[in-house]
Amino acid sequence: QQQVKQSPQSLIVQKGGISIINCAYENTAFDYFPWYQQFPGKGPALLIAIRPDVSEKKEGRFTISFNKSAKQFSLHIMDSQPGDSATYFCAASRRGSARQLTFGSGTQLTVLP
């Protein structure tokens, strides 16, 4: 059972455009929602994260929007750059079970120069 659904599977945007990746979750016990960025041959790196008590969090060009009632959250990358080309994973965790992360299936982002 996939508890975190991520879309789209791949995304191509022009330099300077906005990249938007969406995730939906099922388990209402989730209380922490990070986004990870992964370059080929590297481990995932934490990009930005949010807790459900806020509806939006912004760090530089990266913004998470969170809709608790709809059980959805999204990553917006403003002014997308070729260096942003990577695979992005949303994830969710809850208390207990060593705070295991449940990952989405990933979005391969390509930013064209």
Partner 1 sequence: EADIYQTPRYLVIGTGKKITLECSQTMGHDKMYWYQQDPGMELHLIHYSYGVNSTEKGDLSSESTVSRIRTEHFPLTLESARPSHTSQYLCASSGLAGSRTGTQYFGPGTRLTVL
Closest distance between partner 1 and the C-beta of residue 57, in Å? Answer: 13
**Applying CB under 8 A, which residues contact partner 1?**
32, 34, 36, 40-46, 49, 51, 87, 89, 93, 97-101, 103-106, 108
Strand runs (DSSP E) across 1-113, as ranges? 4-7, 10-14, 19-25, 33-38, 45-50, 56-59, 62-67, 72-77, 86-92, 102-103, 107-112
Nearer to partner 1, 78 or 89 (CB): 89
Closest distance between partner 1 and the C-beta of residue 42, in Å? Answer: 6
